[in-house]
Chains A and B, each alone.
Chain A
Amino acid sequence: MATMATDRLPVAPNEDPDNKVYFDGCRAGKLILGKCLDTGRLFHYPRHVSPFTLSNNVEFVEAKGTGEIYSWSVARGKAPFCVAYVKLDEGPIMLTNIIDCDLDALACGQKVKVKFKETDGGAPVPMFVPA
């Protein structure tokens, strides 16, 4: 039995001076990661402060937009949809939704790729579809 993911309209993300670089990236169809220049480590969610050293010695880099499902759950109810953590090929794990898929055929380790999804009056946000 297949259960197709509901096509829902997400609430708009609140943008602020710190996260604007990320959501501007989303508008341009780019998935942005933070990079700590003190340690060379990548991070999500992007911010202007390194979560590894607390310095502002950071830059922003574009991810490929591919990865695999680290974990997932389906919110059941009238309009079921999948909440997931996706491990990007670059390393960081991010919260997202898996869309355009059969909710009864999801698995940890499943390969996925990014697809930007419109929100309710705000910047689009990265979601993932089976690769």
Chain B
Amino acid sequence: MKNPAYIVGAFEHPTRKAEDKSTAQLHAEVAYGALQDAGLSASDIDGYFCAGDAPGMGGLSMADYMGLTNLRHYDTTESGGSSYVIHVGHAVEAIMHGKCNVALITLAGRPRAEGMQTGTAVRSFGSGVPDEPFELPYGRTIATMHAMVATRHMHEFGTTSEQLAWIKVAASTHAQYNPHAMLPKVVTVEDVVNSPMIADPLHRLDCCVISDGGGALIVAKPEIAKSLKRPLVGVKGWGEAYKHQSAGGIDLTYSAAVKSGAMAYDKAKVKPADIKYASIYDSFTISVLVQIEDLGFCEKGQGGKFVQDGGLISGVGKLPFNTDGGGLCNNHPSNRGGMTKVIEAVRQARGEAHPKVQVPNADLVLANGKGGNLGTRHGCGTVILERE
């Protein structure tokens, strides 16, 4: 056993529109799915991890609903869509320190059933948020703030809309093999750049889907992982980092993944070139481009050249990414894509991705989450997984 903890269970809810289920139900269903996958039962769980999508105060209501009576550790770190990637690192550390043996991480939500305008509506976190009086009057949205990252990247590095479109092309090429994908149709660069403009320079097909559902992970200590029947997927490296507006010293060209990635590589003692497959948070095509550079898969500013001509397509390019179709084509449950990033990385490491997109001998994989807003405040979590 080479690693401090192992992902022994992973489950992605098959629904993409949950009109007939509550958010609490979805959390419970993904937890049960991950336990079934691992071969464990609810009574084995002694650590629970969830974020802002879990109804109630922290994890109390959900732990009560699910009947998690043996908890002795819980963690409700909230960093938007990257929370669950960060939770994996926290779960490993909790296990290393003896705070728990079997950690459950859940995510679920139903923004689609609830008719939420996720990316194009002004969203507030309520009164008292110190930055909002300086932002809400300007009608900023998730889409326009990410779009400004793209505008600046194009200005500084000459990145083109066609290059960004290749990211969607790669995701859709993978999604065609996923029976649960919301957008399983393969698209072309022309399809993307000719789709309606949402927020210059991002088109509709530069944006991720809005979907219901969720996912869950079980992280366990080595002795327990060894006793189970699933392939051993160890957590070899992990890191988290946060980036803000720096009191007006704004630089939109990079994300917190610069730091979270470096921490994860350092812990795992591997280099970007060693990674066989990467799940990259894909709220928008530009999100992917920035993270690929920040994670060291290419130099800063060279992401456009890296992704064009199928650079991210499994079996074609240098870095197979998001082989489930990602948030761009498959699923972005509860507007939070970090969980599904880890789940597909686990599938790849186990050799259980769809045969058409499975990377041969994917024994070292990476998942990166970005949560919050790339253009204002966000947190990144990186994990590096190793199949033993």
**Are A51 and B137 closer than 8 Å at their CB atoms?**
no
Q: In chain A between 1 and 42, which residues have their CB closer than 8 angstroms to a CB of chain B?
A: 8, 10-16, 18-19, 23, 34, 41-42
Instruction: Return chain B residues, CB-CB under 8 Å to A75.
Output: 120, 139, 141, 143-144, 198-199
Residue of A44, A52, A73 near B144 (CB, 8 A) is A73
Closest to A36 in B: B247
**Are B247 and A73 closer than 8 Å at their CB atoms?**
no
Instruction: Return chain A residues, CB-CB under 8 Å to B200.
Output: 72-74, 76
**Are A125 and B247 closer than 8 Å at their CB atoms?**
no
Number of A interface residues, CB 8 Å? 44
Instruction: Return chain A residues, CB-CB under 8 Å to B133.
Output: 13-16, 19, 23, 45
The verdict on B151 contacting chain A, using a C-beta distance below 8 Å, is yes
Closest-CB distance, B136 to chain A (whole angstroms): 6
Given A12-B137, A72-B148, A83-B148, A47-B199 contact (CB < 8 Å): no
**Are A72 and B139 closer than 8 Å at their CB atoms?**
no
**Are B198 and A76 closer than 8 Å at their CB atoms?**
yes
The verdict on A92 contacting chain B, using a C-beta distance below 8 Å, is yes
Residue of B145, B149, B151 near A108 (CB, 8 A) is B151
Closest to B146 in A: A73
Instruction: Return chain B residues, CB-CB under 8 Å to A84.
Output: 148
The verdict on A93 contacting chain B, using a C-beta distance below 8 Å, is yes
**Are B148 and A52 closer than 8 Å at their CB atoms?**
no
**Are B136 and A13 closer than 8 Å at their CB atoms?**
yes
Q: Which residues of A are at the interface with B, using a C-beta cutoff of 8 A?
A: 8, 10-16, 18-19, 23, 34, 41-45, 47, 51-52, 70-77, 81, 83-85, 91-97, 108-109, 119, 125, 127
**Are A74 and B138 closer than 8 Å at their CB atoms?**
no
**Are A44 and B248 closer than 8 Å at their CB atoms?**
yes
Residue of A23, A51, A76, A81 near B139 (CB, 8 A) is A81
**Are A83 and B138 closer than 8 Å at their CB atoms?**
yes
Number of A-B residue pairs at CB separation under 8 A: 119
Instruction: Return chain B residues, CB-CB under 8 Å to A127.
Output: 138
The verdict on B2 contacting chain A, using a C-beta distance below 8 Å, is no
User: Could you list 7 A-B pairs, sorted by A, with CB under 8 Å?
Assistant: A19-B134, A52-B247, A92-B247, A92-B249, A93-B248, A95-B134, A108-B151
A74 to B140, CA, bound (A): 10
The verdict on B196 contacting chain A, using a C-beta distance below 8 Å, is yes
The verdict on B316 contacting chain A, using a C-beta distance below 8 Å, is no
Closest to B138 in A: A97
**Are A71 and B149 closer than 8 Å at their CB atoms?**
yes
**Are A72 and B151 closer than 8 Å at their CB atoms?**
yes
Closest-CB distance, B196 to chain A (whole angstroms): 7
Instruction: Return chain A residues, CB-CB under 8 Å to B162.
Output: none
Closest to B199 in A: A73
A109 to B130, CA, bound (A): 28
A16 to B140, CA, bound (A): 21
A85 to B120, CA, bound (A): 18
**Are B131 and A71 closer than 8 Å at their CB atoms?**
no
Closest-CB distance, A83 to chain B (whole angstroms): 4
A51 to B130, CA, bound (A): 13
Closest to B122 in A: A11
A35 to B85, CA, bound (A): 37
Closest-CB distance, B187 to chain A (whole angstroms): 20
Closest-CB distance, B161 to chain A (whole angstroms): 13
**Are B148 and A42 closer than 8 Å at their CB atoms?**
no
A15 to B132, CA, bound (A): 10
A44 to B246, CA, bound (A): 9
Closest-CB distance, B309 to chain A (whole angstroms): 27
Instruction: Return chain B residues, CB-CB under 8 Å to A13.
Output: 133-134, 136-137
Given A14-B127, A75-B199, A76-B197, A83-B144 contact (CB < 8 Å): yes
The verdict on B186 contacting chain A, using a C-beta distance below 8 Å, is no
**Are A71 and B138 closer than 8 Å at their CB atoms?**
no
Q: In chain B between 183 and 233, which residues have their CB closer than 8 angstroms to a CB of chain A?
A: 196-202
14 more contacts with CB within 8 A, not counting A74-B199, A93-B249, A125-B138, are A8-B139, A10-B138, A13-B134, A14-B127, A23-B133, A42-B248, A44-B248, A70-B152, A73-B202, A75-B120, A81-B139, A84-B148, A97-B138, A108-B151
Closest to A97 in B: B138
Most-contacted residue by chain B among A12, A85, A92 (CB, 10 A): A85
Instruction: Return chain A residues, CB-CB under 8 Å to B143.
Output: 73, 75
A76 to B121, CA, bound (A): 12
Closest-CB distance, B157 to chain A (whole angstroms): 12
**Are B247 and A76 closer than 8 Å at their CB atoms?**
no
Closest-CB distance, A105 to chain B (whole angstroms): 12
A45 to B376, CA, bound (A): 12
Given A10-B139, A13-B133, A83-B139, A77-B120 contact (CB < 8 Å): yes
